[in-house]
Chain A
């Protein structure tokens, strides 16, 4: 499992692996927003939590179709399925590697981007905390979607359609954490709910995705 986790990260940073793509997409998307809505600081500050969260969510979506597709195409997935690594372990290792290569950089980049959008300083810490916990759920839910669409050629669009609705609860809670922190309310309750949601996906997704993989491979 550890070998798989290490290899996935190695593959992501090698040429064509897509590491940094999600991050670059996130940066560009957030920088485009002021061009679209105008330079009014007050407006930007109000919509900043939502923009940052939607940006992170879309950026996360961008690299999901690689999670299983490449391994399925070159036969590695079948070889792994018959190896000592259980399928649930395989799913967990892949989702964890996806988070390290996309969710973590997005989280770290969010604070400077919050400054760019004029997010009040009281929100920075909560922004990083909410993205840090929320993107874990995004990676795991996305891995489930990738497992469902693994047998489909060019399944990227279908994957997005399947996964985006499942992202709604995470998006609502995540953005709420930041909005509450900025408006002076306590964000603890929202962050606790978000963490609970993340833990729930950590517990359920590996088994569900393993089942989907099993059905897709026959």
Chain B
């Protein structure tokens, strides 16, 4: 359902990963591992189409993907409900149980500025559910979540995959996912001194 072949990834002008290949079927979950700076975020951003790929192909179309990065994309001036309503308007999709799933019921009318880091993260992750998209690209989704909510989020992830979705997660935690595959990003590190970057063009086509 999602095939990545021979993908190269750039961070700025520098090639950090080369020849990344994997294939995921509906219901699969892929955990990205690797030390800090190995290129997990870079790979996820390239898959999401935020960074252009100089070489290689990703079979999924951008309309199937939803990406959450280190930042929560939460507006502090708006309440939790207003934040969610905004994303519902953007994705033209309004699932009824988003608040309940992410344990945001009691916070619904609070301005997001008064949320704790973990609560804000949950609100940020709720966007995944609102998007209704099949392939989730998650960059360290469990940062700032307490143990209880990590378990809760793992359950949401399992639920998403068992209903035919795909998740690619970069994390340092051991998430309790039964069917997860693991990909060590460090295995694809680009050889050093590879200065022959073909893509100095900032307007390179191929980013989303």
One digit per residue, 1 when the CB lies within 8 angstroms of any chain B CB and 0 when it does not, for chain A 62-75 equals 00000000000111
Asked if A83 contacts B91 (CB within 8 A), the reply is yes
A73 to B69, CA, bound (A): 12
Q: Is there an interface contact between B67 and A74, defined as CB atoms closer than 8 Å?
A: no
Question: What's the least CB distance linking B95 to chain A, in Å?
Answer: 16
**A-contacting residues, B57-100, CB 8 Å:** 62-63, 65-78, 82, 85-86, 88-92
Per DSSP, are chain A's interface residues mostly helix, strand or loop, or mixed?
helix
Closest residue on chain A to residue B88 by CB atoms: A3
Point out the residue from A10, A85, A214 that lies within 8 Å of B82, measured CB to CB: A10
* A window 72-125: CB within 8 A of B: 73-76, 78-85
Q: Is B48 in contact with chain A by the CB < 8 A criterion?
A: yes
Q: How far is the CB of B124 from chain A (nearest CB, A)?
A: 8
CB distance from B203 to the nearest CB of A (A): 6
Partner-A contacts on B (CB < 8 A): 10, 48-52, 62-63, 65-78, 82, 85-86, 88-92, 124, 127, 131, 202-203, 207-208
Chain A, residue nearest B76 (CB): A74
Give every chain B residue within 8 A of A78 (Cβ-Cβ): 50, 67, 69, 71, 73
Closest chain A residue to B111, Cβ basis: A14
Q: Please count how many residues in chain A sit with their CB below 8 Å of the partner chain's CB atoms.
A: 28
User: Contact between A75 and B77 (Cβ–Cβ < 8 Å)?
Assistant: no
Q: Is the CB of B50 within 8 A of A75?
A: no
Is A11 close to B, CB under 8 A? yes
* B69 pairs with A11, CB closer than 8 A: no
Partner of A218, one of B51, B63, B68, B72: B51
Whole-angstrom CA separation of A214 from B206 in the bound complex:
11
Asked whether A82 and B48 contact (CB < 8 A) given A7-B86, A74-B71, the answer is yes
